[in-house]
Structure 1
Amino acid sequence: MNHLTLAAGTMCTLIGPPGCGKSTFAAHWPDTWRVSLDFYRRLATDTESDQSATPVAIQIQDLLLDARLARGLSTIVDSTNLRPHVRAGLLARARYWQRPATAVLFDVPLHVVEAQNAARDRIVPTHVVHELHQLLPTVDQLRGEGFTTIQLASDLSSTQ
């Protein structure tokens, strides 16, 4: 299996539905590298699941992402990032700061995602998991969007 190596200043965008292992993957990196909408929603409302806090969480994420990329610091974007317009905004920031943009696509089968989601403390409703799993882009889509490197999570070692 391969290990993910990030050049200094890389924006690494994790892409996958809730319960696919993004946050577990991100935990293998220094916590200062991680920007997370769930974490910022929790800071704003005391719960990660309060979607009404998403606009302020995005503002916090964007502020910290710009601060890190401006300084040439590697950053892990830990949220679903399944919608093309969300990825486009992240890529625009990486281009603005002239930083490489890596995507890690969590190509986890739906039945595995469902099982992992069911075992979490904060369970996302099954219909939401199904809807978001259907939004998984292809490697070719991500390449066409402008990611400089694309890795499948299934190809990466779990011992980052």
Structure 2
Amino acid sequence: MTSEQPRDPIAVPAAGLILLVGVSGSGKSTFARQHFGGTEVISSDFCRGLVANDENDQSATKDAFDVLGYIVATRLRRGLLTVVDATNVQPYARSSLVSLAKEHDVLVDAIVLDVPEHVAIERNERRPDRTFGSRVVSRQRRDLKRSLGRTKKEGFRRIHVLRGTEEIDAAQIVRERPWNDRRDLSGPFDIIGDVHGCVSELRTLLTTLGWHIQVKDGAAVGASHPDGRQAVFVGDLVDRGPDTPGVLRLVMGMVASGLRCA
């Protein structure tokens, strides 16, 4: 990908989990600051500093990730976008975070920053707090390359790979609202349970609730409510009933007319 071929914006979940993946020196923290809010980013280095007063104290890594996991889980429970800034180059490091996303029923994306090894090494050498040498970066890069092909099977919704500094610098982030985020709907609502293919009973219920049934050639093909009420179907529309096609025809007509049935 060159600068003459701009990449489409990276679409991430507006409320979910994002894992930044890359070797030390790949620019994850800079990328996070550029594209996400300060409180949205949880850094493994920051958590290591919290528990050891030293962001580079590798002996504190386990405790640091315990703290990181707690913060991530709390934010996901509260419905907040959360970005994890850590190397995440090994499958086991990613798996625990993906599991947290699944436990909280949110989407999880990975953004991989893949820079040449010499670039990462040079960046680390310019930082006085990075004293671990080039061997660590080389090992991390091997781990990344070895596991990158398997990430599609790890439970990520999408994996965005940015290769080279130019592509990373040019990246744009857009946030996608989940399909089930319907906070724009304000009601009033009629909550309807299992229909099970019983179109006659559904028509009776809707009529009782004040809905006007639209009929074509003797079949119900839609419905509207004079007060602008919206129907929310929370049970099974089909299965066992005498007229499953009739139920689907009616409900699909309601959706098509803009009633935004859920």
Residues of 2 paired with 1:153 and 1:97: CA distance?
Answer: 28
Query: How far apart are the structure 1 equivalents of 2:126 and 2:84?
Result: 23
Q: Does 1:126 find its partner at 2:129? A: no
Structure ranking higher in strand proportion: 2
User: Which deviations, in whole Å up to 9, do the C-alpha atoms of 1:90-130 show, x marking residues without a partner?
Assistant: 11111111111100111111111112222224223211111
Displacement after TM superposition at 1:159 (Å)? 6.2
Answer yes or no: is 1:147 the counterpart of 2:153: no
Q: Which residue of 1 aligns with 2:227?
A: none
Structure 1 SS opposite 2:96: helix
CA offset at residue 69 of structure 1? 0.7
Determine which structure has more spread, i.e. the larger CA radius of gyration: 2
Q: Which has the higher helix share?
A: 1
**What is the CA distance between 1:83 and its match in structure 2?**
1.3
Which amino acid is 2:80 matched to?
A: L
Larger relative contact order, structure 1 or 2 (CA cutoff 8 Å, min sep 6): 1
How many aligned residue pairs are there? 160
Of the structure 1 ranges 58-67 and 113-122, higher mean CA displacement relative to structure 2 is found in: 113-122
- Work out whether 1:34 is the aligned partner of 2:41: yes
Q: Distance in 1 between matches of 2:125 and 2:62?
A: 27
> TM-score if structure 2 supplies the norm length?
0.57
Number of the residue aligned with 1:52: 59
Aligned match of 1:19: 25
Which residue number corresponds to residue 87 of structure 2? 80
Alpha-carbon distance in structure 1 between the residues aligned to 2:82 and 2:106: 10
| Alpha-carbon separation, structure 1, partners of 2:45 and 2:9 | 26
Query: Is the Cα–Cα contact under 8 Å of residues 34 and 76 in structure 1 kept in the other structure?
Result: yes
Structure 2 unaligned segments of length 5 or more: list them: 1-6, 174-262
| Aligned residue number for residue 10 of structure 1 | 16
1:139: Cα distance to partner?
A: 4.9
| Aligned sequence identity (%) | 32
Q: CA deviation at 1:63?
A: 0.6
Corresponding position: 1:68 with 2:75: yes
- CA positional deviation for 1:6: 2.4
Root-mean-square deviation (Å): 1.7
TM-score (normalised: structure 1): 0.91
